[in-house]
Amino acid sequence: MKIQQRKNFIEEKFIDIHKKSSTVWVQAPGRVDLMGSHTDYNLGYVLTQAIDRNTWIAARPRNDGRVRIASLDVDGIAEFDLESIIYNEKIPWSNYVRGVADVYQKEGYELNGFDGLVHSTIPFGSGLSSSAALEVATAVLLESLADLEIAPVKRAILCQRAENEFVGMNCGILDQYSSAMGEEGSVLLLDCRSITSEIKPIAPGVQVMICDTRAERALTGSEYPERRAQCEEGARILRKFYPEIKSLRDATLEKVQTHRDDLDPVVYKRCHFIVEENQRVLDIADALASGEHHKAGRLAVESFRGARDLYEIVSDEMIAMHAAIMSAPGAYGARGAGAGFGGCLVAFVESDSIEAFAEHVQKEYVSSTGIEPEIYPVQAAKGAGVLPFN
Ligand code: GLA
C-alpha cells in the first residue's frame, strides 16, 4: 500500500472510531537480526537492521488524561486512565501501550491522554518485533504529545523496561534498540553491553530476504526465560573459575570446553552456542562489508545448526524452510530470525536471483509442509519518529 493510500485508509477508520480527525502520526519499524540469536541478554553483539515494515499510530490529544486506542489489525478498543494503569488480560496488545505510558510516568514524565489508532505491516508473532514496534511508536507518540525531548537510545531502554516490568517478558535490548535507532540503508553492529552501535556497510550483490514459515508458534512462554536462566547459570559457574566473566559475552569457547564437566549438559550446550554465535556476529559483519557473501552464508548456516542442535529453538517448519532455501538458486545461507520456535528465517541471497529464489522456496516449502509461506526482500529502514502529516 502506498503511503498516501495507507494514511487515507487509517484516517477514515480513525474518524469512524473516534468521531474526530487525527492530528499526530508516528511510525516505528520492525527489525531483523542478521546474526546474533539470544546474544543480547548475554550482553554480546547483534548485527541488526530496522526493516521497511512498520507500525503507525494516528492520534489526537485528549484533555481528560485518558487513552482510548484501537487497532486495525487486532480486535478491541482499549481505554484507560493515565492515573491508574493496570495490566489488561482482555486486550493483550494494549499492554504494550499501557506499559510504555506506565514506565514513562514512573520516570517522572508528565503525559497527555489521546485517542489513537494502530496499523501495522509487521506480521505478528513471526520474529520481526511487532511488539517492540508498538512500544517504540507509543513512546514517540507520548513524547510528541507532551513535548518531551528524549534521546532515541533512552527511548529504547524505557521501552525494554516496559516489556520487562509491565508485560513480563524478560527480553534483551535488541528489538527496541533496532526499532528506535534504525538507519536507512545500513545495518547496525549493536553492542548490548554498552548499548551503542556502529554502522556497518554491506557490499553490493546480496539481498536480505525474509522467509516466513507462517507456522503457528507452539510456545508455552517458558522457553525464552528458561534459555536466559540457563545462560545466567553458565556464566555464574564459569565466573567461579574466571572472575572476569560477568556474562557469557566474556567467555570463550576454550573456557566453556575446559569446564564442560562443571556445567549441566544442557547449560553447556547453551553456553557453547552463545559464545560461538557472538563471534559469528563480528565475523559476518566483516564478511558482508568486504563482499565475502559465501562466507557470510556459511556463517548463517552455522548459526542455524547451532540454534537447532545446541540452543534448541528451531521448529520442524524452520527446518523445512531452511532446506527449501538452501536448495534455491542464489542462496548464500540462512538462519532463524528473532527468538526462534517458528516464525521467519532470514536468508542472504544473490541480488540478481531474488525472483527465482522466492519462486523455488515457495514451491519447495509448500510441497514439504502444506503451508503457504511468505517470501519477500526487506530494506534497512530508518528508526521510529513522527510522520510528517497534518
Ligand atoms: C526476542 C527478544 C530479543 C532477543 C531475541 C533473540 O526477539 O525480544 O531481546 O533476545 O528474541 O535474539
Whether the CB-CB separation of 344 and 127 falls below 8 Å is answered with yes
Q: Name the grid cell of 226.
A: 528458561
- Residues 372 and 156: their CA atoms lie apart, in Å, by 34
The predicted model gives 150-154 an average pLDDT of: 98
Tens-place pLDDT, residues 86-96: 999 999 999 99
Tens-place pLDDT, residues 228-284: 999 999 999 999 999 999 999 999 999 999 999 999 999 999 999 999 999 999 999
Pocket test for ligand 1, best of 48, 129, 175 (most atoms within 8 A of CB): 175
Residue 271 CA to ligand 1 center (angstroms) comes to: 16
The predicted model gives 52-74 an average pLDDT of: 98
Residue 45: DSSP 8-state:
E
Where in the sequence numbering do the catalytic residues fall? 175
The predicted model gives 140-158 an average pLDDT of: 98
Determine the straight-line distance between the first and last CA of the chain, rounded to whole angstroms. Answer: 19
pLDDT of residue 219: 67
Whether the CB-CB separation of 255 and 238 falls below 8 Å is answered with yes
DSSP-assigned beta bridge partners for residue 81: 66
Pocket test for ligand 1, best of 40, 223, 228, 311 (most atoms within 8 A of CB): 40
- Residues 132 and 144: their CA atoms lie apart, in Å, by 18
Whether the CB-CB separation of 210 and 344 falls below 8 Å is answered with yes
Q: From the CB of 174, is ligand 1 less than 6 Å away?
A: yes
**DSSP code string of 185-215:** T-EEEEETTTTEEEEE---TTEEEEEEE--P
